[in-house]
Chains A and B, each alone.
Chain A
Amino acid sequence: MSDATVRKASVPPDHLPIWDDPCEAIYHRVTIDLDKCDGCKLCVVVCPANILELFGPKENLKARLKGDANGCMSCNNCYAVCASQGIMATEPYDFAGFYEQKQISEFMFPRKF
Chain B
Amino acid sequence: MDDIVSNHDLEELECELDAAAAKESRKARRRTAIQDIEPGAEWNDVEHAILTRRSIRKFKGRQVPAHMIRRILEMGRFAPSQGNNQPWSFVVIRDKAMIAEMEQYCVAVCKNMTATIDYTNYPPGSEQRAAIMENTQKLNRDNPNSFHPVPMTAIKSIANGRFAVFHRAPTVILILMDKRGVGVPEVDIGVVGTNIVLAAQSLGLGTCWIGFSKLLSSNPALVEKLGVQAPFEIAEAISVGYPIGNPTQQAISRQTHQIVWWEDGNKEILY
State in angstroms the CA–CA spacing of A109 and B154 once bound together.
27
- For residue A17, which residues in chain B have a CB less than 8 angstroms away from its CB? 149
State in angstroms the CA–CA spacing of A93 and B56 once bound together.
20
Residue of chain B at shortest CB distance from A24: B149
Q: 8 Å CB contacts to A: which residues of B245-271? A: 245-258, 271
The A contact surface, by secondary structure, is loop
Most buried by B among A77, A104, A106: A77
- For residue B252, which residues in chain A have a CB less than 8 angstroms away from its CB? 76-77, 79-80, 109
- For residue B256, which residues in chain A have a CB less than 8 angstroms away from its CB? 104-108
Tell yes or no: B137 within 8 A of A by CB.
yes
Contact for A103 among B57, B154, B257, CB less than 8 A: B257
Most buried by A among B43, B150, B154: B150
B270 CB, nearest partner CB in chain A, Å: 10
Contact for B157 among A71, A79, A90, A103, CB less than 8 A: A71
Are the CB atoms of B255 and A112 closer together than 8 Å?
Answer: no
Are the CB atoms of A107 and B249 closer together than 8 Å?
Answer: no
Most buried by A among B42, B52, B163, B245: B245
Tell yes or no: A55 within 8 A of B by CB.
no
Are the CB atoms of B150 and A107 closer together than 8 Å?
Answer: no
Q: 8 Å CB contacts to B: which residues of A8-57? A: 16-21, 25, 42, 45-46, 48-50
Residue of chain B at shortest CB distance from A82: B249
B201 CB, nearest partner CB in chain A, Å: 12
Residue of chain A at shortest CB distance from B137: A16
Task: In the complex, identify which listed stretch (B9-17, B140-148, B176-184) lies at the interface while the others stay far away.
Answer: B140-148
Report if A77-B55 is in contact (Cβ < 8 Å); known contacts: A45-B244, A105-B271.
yes
Tell yes or no: B133 within 8 A of A by CB.
yes
**Chain A: how many interface residues by the 8 Å CB criterion?**
44
Residue of chain A at shortest CB distance from B270: A105
Contact for A46 among B119, B147, B247, B271, CB less than 8 A: B247
State in angstroms the CA–CA spacing of A86 and B253 once bound together.
14
- For residue B137, which residues in chain A have a CB less than 8 angstroms away from its CB? 16
State in angstroms the CA–CA spacing of A104 and B157 once bound together.
28
> Can you identify 27 A-B contacts, CB atoms within 8 angstroms?
A16-B137, A17-B149, A18-B120, A18-B124, A20-B120, A25-B149, A45-B244, A49-B153, A50-B162, A74-B255, A76-B254, A77-B54, A79-B250, A80-B247, A80-B248, A81-B247, A81-B249, A88-B253, A103-B257, A104-B256, A105-B257, A107-B253, A107-B254, A109-B252, A112-B39, A112-B40, A112-B42
Residues on A lying within 8 angstroms of B by beta carbon are: 16-21, 25, 42, 45-46, 48-50, 70-71, 73-77, 79-83, 85, 88, 90-93, 95, 98-99, 103-110, 112-113
